[in-house]
Amino acid sequence: MSEGSGIPRVEVAVVLLMHDGRVLTPYNRKWGAFTLPMTKRRHWEDPNVQGGELAEAWDHAAYRAAGECLGRTLIETLEPVGEEEEVRFRQSDRNGKFKFYIFHVYRLAFDAPPALAPGVPADWLTREEILDEQRHPISKTARELIRLLP
């Protein structure tokens, strides 16, 4: 998907998996940093409309991100966090290309820390720990989103 200017538009669903005031930050091997569970929203061609496009529901994408970290299906209800869309125009840390990023953020709180999928390295961090510039490696995207959220 692209904006009229030819700059790609990237829609990202994010889920804050929370327990006892802490946020799960899984390690993303592609980014080389701890971040928040997130995934691109999927789009595909609508088979019933010529030139039409279908888009994955935002909450389905967030559930995918959570399921990948937890290694299981979920019946818990996701709670939208903050504004419906946070739009950011910036350069990708991974490939250096400029993109319009649109984030939809959800929260899912647990009474007890959930088990993680096998092989998922992760840390439970407070908001302050995520924002602590002395703590590494934490992705700039995770810090930016946590800074923006209520």
pLDDT number for residue 80: 94
The architecture in CATH of the region 9-148 reads: Alpha-Beta Complex (3.90)
Domain spans of the chain, in order of start = 9-148
Report the pLDDT averaged over residues 87-102. 74
Length of the chain: 150
pLDDT number for residue 94: 67
pTM over 0.75: yes
pLDDT number for residue 109: 97
**Hey, is 60 helix, strand or coil?**
helix
pLDDT number for residue 33: 97
pLDDT number for residue 100: 86
**pLDDT of 65 above 90:** yes
* Contact predicate 70/116, CB 8 Å: yes
* Contact predicate 39/12, CB 8 Å: yes
For residue 86, give every residue at least 6 positions away whose Cβ sits within 8 Å of its Cβ, in sequence order, or none. Answer: 102, 103, 105, 145, 148
The single residue listed with the structure tokens 């592609």 is 30
**Hey, is 87 helix, strand or coil?**
strand
pLDDT band at 150 (very low <50, low <70, confident <90, very high): confident
